Amino acid sequence: MFGLTLVSGCGGGDEDKPEDRVAADLERIAEAFNDGDSGRLYNDFMAVDCRRRLSVEEAEERFAFLTEGADLAIEKPERIEIGGDVATVRANFTATADERQLTASDTFEMVFEDDHWRFSDCFGAEL
């Protein structure tokens, strides 16, 4: 089993603010990973353009590393820059497997579509 959690900072959020909507959707993404719901990850959190280019099966292959017993956590984003319907997000991720831990920081783009912030990089697909 695998897991992905969002480690929140202090204070509540106001989902009316775009930055809080991004953080809230990252929490929903974490829940989908925790539930092993690759269909939800694909349908709700991959940009429409990615879904046009990647089949569900191809996307599941990109999620496969999560099914190999690693627990993943994402900290509350340290930076969110929003310009219209595009957000650039910087966050720290921690993967733990077999008592080993790896922490990495990543910057990625999200796009606001159909009332969700979605990953727009197609999980690194060369398209």
15-59 pLDDT per residue, tens: 678 899 998 888 888 777 767 777 888 888 899 998 998 888 887
Task: Please list, in sequence order, all residues whose beta carbon lies within 8 angstroms of the beta carbon of residue 10, skipping any fewer than 6 positions away.
Answer: none
**Whether the predicted pLDDT of 109 surpasses 70:** yes
Q: Is 39 helix (H, G, I), strand (E, B) or coil?
A: helix
DSSP 56-92: HHHHHHHHGGGGSS-EEEEEPPSEEEEETTEEEEEEE
**Whether the predicted pLDDT of 12 surpasses 70:** no
Model confidence at 69, pLDDT cuts 50, 70, 90, reads low
pLDDT at 39: 83
pLDDT at 22: 92
**Stated pTM of the model:** 0.74
Q: Which two tokens stand for residue 38?
A: 């690759």
